[in-house]
Amino acid sequence: MSARVVKLTGLKYRDTYFDTLWVILDQHSSPPILPLMYTTQLSRFGVVYDAKELSVETARKRIKSLEPREVSDSTIRAYVYCLAKFFTYLEHCKETHQTPGMHASSSCSEKFVNHYLNHVLAQNLNSSLSLNTHRSALMSYFTWLAFMEIRPSLNLRIYRKTRQAMAEKSIKQNYIQYVSKFWRFALLNACETLAEKLMMRMGYEVGLRTSELRGLRVSGKNNLNKLFTRLSDRDCDHINCFRYWLEGRYTKGSKSRWVYFDRNLLIDMKRYFDTERQWLIDETGRDDNSFFLRTDQRFKGTAIGEEQASRVFRKRAEQAGLNPELSFHDLRHTFATELFQAEIEGSEGRETRSESAALIAVSQRLGHKIGKDGNAPPVTTRYIRMRLQMMELEEVTNE
């Protein structure tokens, strides 16, 4: 008694054209009316509704409102399949407990749907990411029912114990190439020098590969000294992001690109330049053009090697208790995932760009080659999935 999903393309109904229309069908190939209305609205407008509480100071009370939010095509598809799974469960309950089936989904109680989330799905799914997607889909559907004034809205929650259990299950079964803010903080605390901290930040704040740290130079045509000078220039007080031209001879694929340092990072880079780095120069008499210098006795004061940041990461990550499967390169993945999130949502926290446009921006910052069709390469598309993993992981960590 399972529900199934049908994707209709190029459909015209009366004066309305649907590029894509998702339809959920029952065992007799009949669409339940309310889910059909929901998927039609979703396919046509690409909008879901979020329940918001607004404070009214004059009345000293809070009122609820529903605000529209645009979602991507991939999110729509995910929501439809999640709902089909829920309707299949409703049909199963109808057979075994004589409860309303999918054609009466609007009669489901808040307790029933929360039980489905925290007990039924939690046992069958392998990741907290998947569970959270199901919750979002159900929230979208039942909030739409409230918007249509068919029933009151539901408060659907994934309980704390459920989140913890799902997070542990996910960690055991999957290696996520994202380092959460909590573990980044622990990593920096384990570092013993400012240089080590900066190397780690170059991964997750700038997106550099370990070998690309050698491309940070302090003299020549394009150098960091010029950026350091701008920090004290009053005409540059309004600038919070400084760009640096990373030459192709230091990058994978020999492709030069702009990289960006925010003001706080650049201030700490200058502090290293004036202190730890200068002390090495004073001690050894060497003055290498590389920004990062080695501190081991034999090669003290010379440029770091290609794997220096990776070696530092392995040592400090072990001390901090990070997942042993993580590497320095995963800091680069972390940077890209958070950049993709920022490009999707914009400064106001709403989805303002398409996934394809956001992926192109990420590709450019990472130095990936854009395809002849103008799209980001497949290697960049992983950040669609990683963005969802990041959102779920950060939510678990911050609770």
Contacts of 143 (CB under 8 A, 6+ apart): 48, 49, 50, 51, 66, 153, 154
The CA distance from 322 to 314, in Å, is 9
DSSP for residue 369: P
- Measured from the Cβ of residue 232, the count of other Cβ atoms closer than 10 Å reads 9
CATH no. for 181-398 = 1.10.443.10
Angstrom CA distances, 182 to 149, 202, 267, 342, 348, stand at 42, 17, 23, 19, 24
pLDDT per position in the chain (399 positions), as tens?
A: 578 999 998 888 788 888 889 999 998 899 999 999 999 999 888 888 887 765 555 545 544 677 888 888 888 999 999 999 999 999 999 888 878 789 999 999 999 999 999 999 998 887 777 888 999 999 999 999 988 999 998 999 999 888 878 876 765 555 678 999 999 999 999 999 999 999 999 999 999 999 999 999 998 888 999 999 999 999 999 999 999 999 999 998 888 999 999 999 999 999 999 999 999 999 999 989 999 999 998 899 999 999 999 999 999 999 999 988 899 999 999 999 999 888 887 655 556 667 888 888 888 899 888 877 777 887 787 787 788 778 777 764 444
Task: Find out whether 296 and 280 touch, Cβ atoms under 8 Å.
Answer: no
Question: What Rg do the C-alpha atoms of the chain give, in angstroms?
Answer: 26
* Pairing mode, strands 241-246 and 61-70: unpaired
Do residues 74 and 81 touch, judged by C-beta distance below 8 A? no
Rounded distance, CA 78 to CA 88, Å? 16
How many other CB atoms are found less than 10 A from the CB of residue 341?
18
How far apart, in whole angstroms, are the C-alpha atoms of residue 257 and residue 247?
7
Show me where the domains of the chain are located. 4-173, 181-398
Nearest to 309 by CA among 321, 323, 291, 297: 291
Q: Count other C-beta atoms under 10 Å from residue 24's C-beta.
A: 22
